[in-house]
Protein backbone atom coordinates (compact mmCIF):
# COMPACT_ATOMS: atom_id res chain seq x y z
CA UNK A 1 0.00 0.00 0.00
CA UNK A 2 2.25 2.73 -1.30
CA UNK A 3 -0.25 5.33 -2.41
CA UNK A 4 -0.57 8.52 -0.31
CA UNK A 5 -4.04 10.02 -0.49
CA UNK A 6 -3.22 13.58 0.52
CA UNK A 7 -3.48 15.78 3.55
CA UNK A 8 -5.38 18.79 2.22
CA UNK A 9 -7.96 20.77 4.12
CA UNK A 10 -10.75 19.77 1.71
CA UNK A 11 -13.09 17.10 3.07
CA UNK A 12 -13.07 13.78 1.22
CA UNK A 13 -16.75 13.26 2.08
CA UNK A 14 -19.12 16.15 2.52
CA UNK A 15 -22.85 15.93 3.04
CA UNK A 16 -25.11 18.95 3.33
CA UNK A 17 -28.79 19.07 4.30
CA UNK A 18 -29.30 15.55 3.01
CA UNK A 19 -32.80 14.13 3.15
CA UNK A 20 -34.05 10.85 1.79
CA UNK A 21 -37.66 9.83 1.63
CA UNK A 22 -39.10 6.42 0.74
CA UNK A 23 -42.77 7.01 0.07
CA UNK A 24 -44.16 8.33 3.33
CA UNK A 25 -41.12 7.24 5.36
CA UNK A 26 -38.48 9.84 6.12
CA UNK A 27 -35.27 7.78 6.17
CA UNK A 28 -32.86 10.72 6.44
CA UNK A 29 -33.60 14.23 7.58
CA UNK A 30 -31.22 17.17 7.18
CA UNK A 31 -28.03 15.17 7.61
CA UNK A 32 -24.81 17.19 7.56
CA UNK A 33 -21.37 15.69 7.96
CA UNK A 34 -17.81 16.04 6.75
CA UNK A 35 -15.02 13.50 6.80
CA UNK A 36 -11.57 15.01 6.42
CA UNK A 37 -8.42 13.27 5.11
CA UNK A 38 -6.92 11.14 7.84
CA UNK A 39 -10.19 10.87 9.70
CA UNK A 40 -12.17 7.78 10.74
CA UNK A 41 -15.74 8.89 11.17
CA UNK A 42 -18.01 6.53 13.05
CA UNK A 43 -21.67 6.60 12.18
CA UNK A 44 -23.33 5.21 15.24
CA UNK A 45 -26.97 4.39 15.59
CA UNK A 46 -29.54 1.73 16.37
CA UNK A 47 -30.93 -0.60 13.69
CA UNK A 48 -32.98 1.31 11.14
CA UNK A 49 -31.55 4.71 12.16
CA UNK A 50 -30.40 5.53 8.61
CA UNK A 51 -26.72 4.46 8.63
CA UNK A 52 -26.94 2.19 5.60
CA UNK A 53 -29.15 4.65 3.71
CA UNK A 54 -26.54 7.37 4.31
CA UNK A 55 -23.76 5.12 3.00
CA UNK A 56 -25.72 4.02 -0.06
CA UNK A 57 -26.55 7.62 -0.88
CA UNK A 58 -22.87 8.57 -0.65
CA UNK A 59 -22.05 5.69 -2.99
CA UNK A 60 -24.66 6.93 -5.46
CA UNK A 61 -26.86 3.84 -5.16
CA UNK A 62 -29.69 6.01 -3.84
CA UNK A 63 -30.56 9.48 -5.03
CA UNK A 64 -31.03 12.11 -2.34
CA UNK A 65 -34.51 13.60 -2.07
CA UNK A 66 -32.83 16.92 -1.29
CA UNK A 67 -29.45 18.23 -0.20
CA UNK A 68 -26.11 17.40 -1.74
CA UNK A 69 -23.11 15.11 -1.40
CA UNK A 70 -19.51 15.48 -2.50
CA UNK A 71 -17.00 12.65 -2.55
CA UNK A 72 -13.45 13.83 -3.29
CA UNK A 73 -15.14 16.94 -4.68
CA UNK A 74 -17.45 14.97 -6.99
CA UNK A 75 -21.24 14.67 -6.93
CA UNK A 76 -22.24 10.96 -6.92
CA UNK A 77 -25.49 11.73 -8.76
CA UNK A 78 -23.64 13.48 -11.61
CA UNK A 79 -20.42 11.41 -11.67
CA UNK A 80 -21.46 7.98 -10.39
CA UNK A 81 -18.66 6.04 -12.06
CA UNK A 82 -15.88 8.43 -10.98
CA UNK A 83 -17.22 8.46 -7.42
CA UNK A 84 -17.43 4.67 -7.24
CA UNK A 85 -13.84 4.43 -8.45
CA UNK A 86 -12.74 6.55 -5.46
CA UNK A 87 -14.61 4.43 -2.94
CA UNK A 88 -13.99 1.06 -1.34
CA UNK A 89 -17.25 -0.32 0.00
CA UNK A 90 -18.10 -3.15 2.34
CA UNK A 91 -21.81 -3.86 2.62
CA UNK A 92 -23.56 -4.82 5.84
CA UNK A 93 -24.22 -8.28 4.41
CA UNK A 94 -21.30 -9.25 2.19
CA UNK A 95 -22.85 -9.48 -1.24
CA UNK A 96 -20.71 -11.53 -3.56
CA UNK A 97 -21.11 -14.02 -6.37
CA UNK A 98 -21.60 -17.33 -4.58
CA UNK A 99 -20.46 -19.61 -7.38
CA UNK A 100 -17.18 -17.76 -7.93
CA UNK A 101 -14.11 -18.60 -5.91
CA UNK A 102 -12.39 -15.84 -3.93
CA UNK A 103 -9.74 -15.65 -6.64
CA UNK A 104 -12.31 -15.42 -9.46
CA UNK A 105 -14.24 -12.76 -7.58
CA UNK A 106 -11.16 -10.62 -6.87
CA UNK A 107 -10.11 -11.02 -10.50
CA UNK A 108 -13.51 -9.73 -11.56
CA UNK A 109 -13.37 -6.75 -9.20
CA UNK A 110 -9.79 -5.92 -10.25
CA UNK A 111 -10.83 -6.15 -13.92
CA UNK A 112 -13.78 -3.81 -13.46
CA UNK A 113 -11.67 -1.41 -11.39
CA UNK A 114 -8.88 -1.60 -14.03
CA UNK A 115 -6.15 -2.07 -11.46
CA UNK A 116 -2.51 -2.62 -12.20
CA UNK A 117 -1.65 -6.33 -12.12
CA UNK A 118 1.61 -6.11 -10.15
CA UNK A 119 0.34 -3.84 -7.36
CA UNK A 120 -2.97 -5.76 -7.18
CA UNK A 121 -1.14 -9.05 -6.76
CA UNK A 122 1.14 -7.62 -4.10
CA UNK A 123 -1.78 -6.19 -2.14
CA UNK A 124 -4.00 -9.27 -2.50
CA UNK A 125 -1.16 -11.57 -1.43
CA UNK A 126 -0.51 -9.48 1.69
CA UNK A 127 -4.16 -9.23 2.68
CA UNK A 128 -5.03 -12.85 1.88
CA UNK A 129 -2.14 -14.18 3.90
CA UNK A 130 -2.94 -11.78 6.78
CA UNK A 131 -6.51 -13.11 6.77
CA UNK A 132 -5.36 -16.78 6.61
CA UNK A 133 -7.13 -17.43 3.34
CA UNK A 134 -4.89 -20.21 1.95
CA UNK A 135 -7.59 -22.85 2.41
CA UNK A 136 -10.33 -20.61 1.08
CA UNK A 137 -8.82 -18.71 -1.83
CA UNK A 138 -9.94 -21.21 -4.45
CA UNK A 139 -13.15 -22.26 -2.70
CA UNK A 140 -16.52 -21.08 -4.00
CA UNK A 141 -17.76 -18.17 -1.93
CA UNK A 142 -20.98 -20.12 -1.26
CA UNK A 143 -18.99 -22.49 0.94
CA UNK A 144 -17.40 -19.78 3.08
CA UNK A 145 -18.52 -18.72 6.54
CA UNK A 146 -19.91 -15.23 7.14
CA UNK A 147 -16.54 -14.11 8.52
CA UNK A 148 -14.66 -15.43 5.50
CA UNK A 149 -17.12 -13.74 3.15
CA UNK A 150 -16.56 -10.52 5.06
CA UNK A 151 -12.81 -10.89 4.56
CA UNK A 152 -13.32 -11.36 0.81
CA UNK A 153 -15.48 -8.24 0.72
CA UNK A 154 -12.83 -6.31 2.68
CA UNK A 155 -10.02 -7.35 0.30
CA UNK A 156 -12.23 -6.40 -2.66
CA UNK A 157 -12.87 -2.97 -1.12
CA UNK A 158 -9.13 -2.29 -0.79
CA UNK A 159 -7.98 -3.77 -4.12
CA UNK A 160 -7.87 -0.37 -5.90
CA UNK A 161 -6.45 1.50 -2.89
CA UNK A 162 -9.25 4.06 -2.77
CA UNK A 163 -9.03 7.37 -0.89
CA UNK A 164 -12.46 6.79 0.68
CA UNK A 165 -13.63 3.71 2.53
CA UNK A 166 -17.31 3.19 3.30
CA UNK A 167 -17.56 0.33 5.75
CA UNK A 168 -21.01 -0.79 6.81
CA UNK A 169 -20.59 -2.99 9.90
CA UNK A 170 -17.30 -4.39 8.53
CA UNK A 171 -16.50 -6.48 11.59
CA UNK A 172 -19.63 -8.65 11.24
CA UNK A 173 -18.69 -12.27 11.77
CA UNK A 174 -14.95 -11.68 12.03
CA UNK A 175 -12.83 -13.53 14.59
CA UNK A 176 -10.71 -11.62 17.12
CA UNK A 177 -7.53 -11.74 15.04
CA UNK A 178 -9.21 -10.57 11.85
CA UNK A 179 -11.11 -7.83 13.70
CA UNK A 180 -7.82 -6.55 15.04
CA UNK A 181 -6.27 -6.61 11.57
CA UNK A 182 -9.22 -4.72 10.09
CA UNK A 183 -9.04 -2.08 12.81
CA UNK A 184 -5.31 -1.66 12.15
CA UNK A 185 -5.91 -1.44 8.40
CA UNK A 186 -8.45 1.30 8.98
CA UNK A 187 -5.82 3.13 11.03
CA UNK A 188 -3.20 2.73 8.27
CA UNK A 189 -5.66 4.05 5.70
CA UNK A 190 -6.30 7.15 7.78
CA UNK A 191 -2.56 7.59 8.39
CA UNK A 192 -2.05 7.73 4.63
CA UNK A 193 -4.57 10.56 4.41
CA UNK A 194 -7.61 8.51 3.44
CA UNK A 195 -11.08 8.97 4.87
CA UNK A 196 -13.15 6.26 6.45
CA UNK A 197 -16.87 6.34 7.14
CA UNK A 198 -17.49 3.50 9.50
CA UNK A 199 -21.00 2.43 10.39
CA UNK A 200 -21.63 0.35 13.45
CA UNK A 201 -24.04 -0.16 16.28
CA UNK A 202 -21.37 -1.64 18.55
CA UNK A 203 -20.16 1.06 20.91
CA UNK A 204 -16.83 -0.55 21.84
CA UNK A 205 -15.81 -0.78 18.20
CA UNK A 206 -16.64 2.87 17.55
CA UNK A 207 -14.76 3.86 20.69
CA UNK A 208 -11.62 1.99 19.59
CA UNK A 209 -11.54 2.86 15.91
CA UNK A 210 -13.10 6.25 15.27
CA UNK A 211 -11.53 9.66 15.60
CA UNK A 212 -14.91 11.33 15.41
CA UNK A 213 -18.40 9.97 15.95
CA UNK A 214 -21.78 11.01 14.62
CA UNK A 215 -24.84 9.66 16.37
CA UNK A 216 -27.69 9.06 13.98
CA UNK A 217 -31.16 8.45 15.30
CA UNK A 218 -34.42 8.28 13.35
CA UNK A 219 -32.66 9.66 10.28
CA UNK A 220 -31.08 12.65 12.03
CA UNK A 221 -27.52 13.24 13.22
CA UNK A 222 -28.33 14.24 16.78
CA UNK A 223 -24.78 14.69 18.02
CA UNK A 224 -21.29 14.75 16.59
CA UNK A 225 -17.75 15.01 17.91
CA UNK A 226 -14.96 13.10 19.61
CA UNK A 227 -15.90 10.82 22.48
CA UNK A 228 -14.92 13.52 25.00
CA UNK A 229 -17.01 16.11 23.17
CA UNK A 230 -19.98 13.74 23.18
CA UNK A 231 -19.50 13.04 26.89
CA UNK A 232 -19.52 16.73 27.63
CA UNK A 233 -22.86 17.02 25.83
CA UNK A 234 -24.41 14.66 28.35
CA UNK A 235 -24.67 15.11 32.08
CA UNK A 236 -22.87 11.90 33.00
CA UNK A 237 -19.43 12.86 31.67
CA UNK A 238 -16.84 10.14 32.03
CA UNK A 239 -19.34 7.43 31.01
CA UNK A 240 -18.83 4.87 28.28
CA UNK A 241 -19.95 5.57 24.73
CA UNK A 242 -22.91 3.26 25.33
CA UNK A 243 -24.11 5.41 28.22
CA UNK A 244 -23.54 8.58 26.21
CA UNK A 245 -25.45 7.09 23.30
CA UNK A 246 -28.43 6.03 25.39
CA UNK A 247 -28.59 9.46 27.00
CA UNK A 248 -28.42 11.26 23.68
CA UNK A 249 -31.10 9.10 22.14
CA UNK A 250 -33.22 9.33 25.29
CA UNK A 251 -33.38 5.54 25.37
CA UNK A 252 -31.88 5.14 28.85
CA UNK A 253 -35.18 5.02 30.76
CA UNK A 254 -36.81 2.97 28.00
CA UNK A 255 -34.04 0.35 28.28
CA UNK A 256 -34.39 0.28 32.07
CA UNK A 257 -38.18 -0.27 31.80
CA UNK A 258 -37.74 -3.01 29.20
CA UNK A 259 -35.14 -4.81 31.32
CA UNK A 260 -37.39 -4.67 34.40
CA UNK A 261 -40.25 -6.14 32.39
CA UNK A 262 -38.05 -8.88 30.87
CA UNK A 263 -36.64 -9.78 34.29
CA UNK A 264 -40.14 -10.23 35.67
CA UNK A 265 -41.17 -12.40 32.70
CA UNK A 266 -37.96 -14.42 32.84
CA UNK A 267 -38.19 -15.30 36.52
CA UNK A 268 -41.96 -15.62 36.64
CA UNK A 269 -42.01 -19.41 36.24
CA UNK A 270 -39.22 -19.86 38.78
CA UNK A 271 -41.22 -17.95 41.42
CA UNK A 272 -44.15 -20.32 40.91
Can you give the binding site for other proteins, defined by CB under 8 A?
A: 22, 25, 27, 47-48, 52-53, 56, 59, 61-62, 81-82, 84-85, 89, 91, 95-101, 103-104, 106-117, 120-121, 124-125, 128-129, 133-140, 142-143
Task: Kindly state the smallest distance separating residue 229's Cβ from other proteins, in Å.
Answer: 29
Based on CB atoms, which residue is closest to other proteins, 93 or 240?
Answer: 93
CB of 37 to other proteins, least distance (A): 21
Q: Which is nearer to other proteins, 6 or 80 (CB)?
A: 80
CB 53, CB 27: distance < 8 Å: yes
Q: Give the span between the Cα atoms of 110 and 104, in whole angstroms.
A: 10
Residue (2 or 23) nearer to other proteins, CB: 23
DSSP string over 36-96: -TT-EEEEE--TTSSHHHHHHHHHTSS--SEEEEEETTB-TTT-HHHHHHTEEEE-SS---
Residue partners of 231: CB distance under 8 A and separation at least 6: 237, 238, 239, 244
**Cβ–Cβ under 8 Å, residues 105 and 96:** yes
Q: Report in angstroms how near the CB of residue 126 gets to other proteins at its nearest.
A: 9
**Minimum CB distance to other proteins, residue 62 (Å):** 5
Nearer Cβ to other proteins (9/134):
134
Q: In the complex, what is the shortest distance from the CB of residue 169 to other proteins, in angstroms, rounded to a whole number?
A: 12
Amino acid sequence: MQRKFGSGSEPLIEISALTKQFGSVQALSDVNLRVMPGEVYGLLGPNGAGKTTTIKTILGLLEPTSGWIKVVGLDPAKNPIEVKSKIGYVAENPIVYDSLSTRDFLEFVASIRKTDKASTNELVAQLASAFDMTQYFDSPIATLSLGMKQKVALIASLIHQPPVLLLDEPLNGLDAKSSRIVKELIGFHAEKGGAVLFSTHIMEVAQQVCTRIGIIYQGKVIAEGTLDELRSKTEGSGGTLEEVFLKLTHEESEVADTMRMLREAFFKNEAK
